[in-house]
């Protein structure tokens, strides 16, 4: 506390230095804020979903890894006990071999998703109906 009083006394004794220090801080904070705002728009554009600012992705962590996926049982428990989020949805990328007896198999990547995922992201099917539970 004594150091703070001493600093304030020194600043009051030297008004020229105080003005230069405050002006320097103001310019630095202003320049930093404007640069961050421009880079935030350029590097992190909004996601193309309605209310994308409200989307959250949940991970499990452990001492070995900071990004672990949830098991189906964990997801169902989270969804059942949820009192915070409006909707919970899950998805998983999966690779499949697709082929027939006359053609060699082709490797495809698909998404396994719960029925809540696409309505939560604001997607409507062009034809037919969406997924159901």
Q: Please determine, for residue 23, whether its predicted confidence score (pLDDT) is greater than 90.
A: yes
3-state secondary structure of 11: helix
Q: Which of 67, 53, 14 is nearest to 22 (CA)?
A: 14
Residue-wise pLDDT tens digits, 27-56: 999 999 999 999 888 888 777 878 777 888
Total-model pTM: 0.56
**Would you kindly state where each structural domain of the chain is located, as residue ranges?**
2-43, 52-121
């Amino acid at each position: 506390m004594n150091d703070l009083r001493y600093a304030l006394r020194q600043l009051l004794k030297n008004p020229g230095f105080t003005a230069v220090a405050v002006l320097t801080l103001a310019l630095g904070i202003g320049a930093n804020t404007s640069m961050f705002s421009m880079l935030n728009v350029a590097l992190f554009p909004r996601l193309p979903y309605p209310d994308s600012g409200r989307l959250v992705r949940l991970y499990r962590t452990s001492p070995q890894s900071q990004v672990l996926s949830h098991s189906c049982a964990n997801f169902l428990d989270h969804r059942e006990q949820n009192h915070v989020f409006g909707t919970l949805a899950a998805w998983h990328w999966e690779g499949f071999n697709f082929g027939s007896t006359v053609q060699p198999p082709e490797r495809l990547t698909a998404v396994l998703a719960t029925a809540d995922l696409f309505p939560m992201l604001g997607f409507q099917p062009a034809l037919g109906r969406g997924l159901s539970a």
